[in-house]
Amino acid sequence: MKSIAAYSAVVLASITCSSAVFAQDSGYFGANLGMQFQVGNILSNRSGGLGKLELGSNGLTSIQVVGNAETGFRFGGENRNLFGLFAGVNAGNPFNDGSPIYLGAELLNYGNHNLDFKIESFSVVYQGDDGGGRQEGFSSSLQYQLGYAYRTQNWNVTAQVHDELRSKGYTPENDPSFLNFTFSAHRSMPVPQIFNSELIMGISIAASSSDYANYQYGVNDDNRYKANREGLEDYSLDFAASAAVNAGLVVPLANNWLLTGNVAKEFLSEDLANSPVLDDFQSWSASTGVRYVF
């Protein structure tokens, strides 16, 4: 697996739209659609918000139609919306086969602070008596994410905790901890000398519990059915972490049109870098696109 060069090229065209759908200044709708070409393991995409509907995938090289959409509304007055609801579709990346649909509640939107709770999946299963020691009856699982964001004209700082709650009997052997933490900070700076553009620089880090890391990036009997794992030997991780830095430029083309470009470099922790489903311990990616905003 190490023979594949850890370079990535992403070609992305996106369309973004925004309008007051439900009532003045309280509703919104957003969507992204584009094409993406990728070679190498770019983990940042899992939190980068680019859902993917895969056209074809061959190991770590893939060409995909990417897209996601979200809509929602908020209650309350201007700049003090205290509660909102939203729903979205986001297919994740090739290495993350989580639920493509999510529902969320905006718990707090006060000034620059935003706190939300997102339900990513909820499942109920009935286990019959299989004679193998599994508990008979109904059990359930809830995957959720708690997110905080601080947004100003120049800063966008986010922190998210993802976890899964399982009722007794959902997993027979143990009670896995599917804990995943992400943090990102992005600074936007005007560069009027370069076509009145905005320079955006940022860092992001992610860390996962052992169970979650093994589910996503390990190879075992529970996840061998997933893509990229056929023929691979078992592999387990104690811990998974990654860090990325990126820089991008947003150039206004007209009142509603933006040209975007971004380069990123990502580093993986040792356990993650040695995973046979990933490629190397670091990778580059680049993307460009146009965006329409209304």
Interaction pattern, residues 224-243, with other proteins; x per rule: CB under 8 A: --------------------
Q: Which stretch binds other proteins (CB under 8 A): 24-32, 132-140, 237-245, 281-289?
A: 24-32
Please identify, using beta-carbon distances, which residue of 197 and 209 lies nearer to other proteins. 197
Q: Which residues have a Cβ under 8 Å from the Cβ of 283 and sit 6 or more positions away?
A: 6, 7, 8, 40, 41, 42, 265, 266
Decide: is 174 part of the binding site for other proteins (CB under 8 A).
no
Q: Which stretch binds other proteins (CB under 8 A): 120-128, 129-137, 246-254, 277-285?
A: 246-254
What residues from 250 to 289 belong to the interface with other proteins (CB under 8 A)?
250-258
Please identify, using beta-carbon distances, which residue of 156 and 282 lies nearer to other proteins. 156
Q: Could you give the CA distance from residue 220 to residue 215 in angstroms, rounded to a whole number?
A: 8
Q: Could you give the CA distance from residue 235 to residue 18 in angstroms, rounded to a whole number?
A: 44
Among 61, 99, 121, 156, binds other proteins (CB under 8 A): 156
* Neighbour-count burial of 36, counting CB atoms closer than 10 A to its CB (0-12 exposed, 13-18 middle, 19+ buried): buried
Interaction pattern, residues 41-80, with other proteins; x per rule: CB under 8 A: --------xx-----------------x-x-x-x---xx-
Helix-, strand-, coil-residue percentages of the chain, each rounded to 5? 5, 55, 40
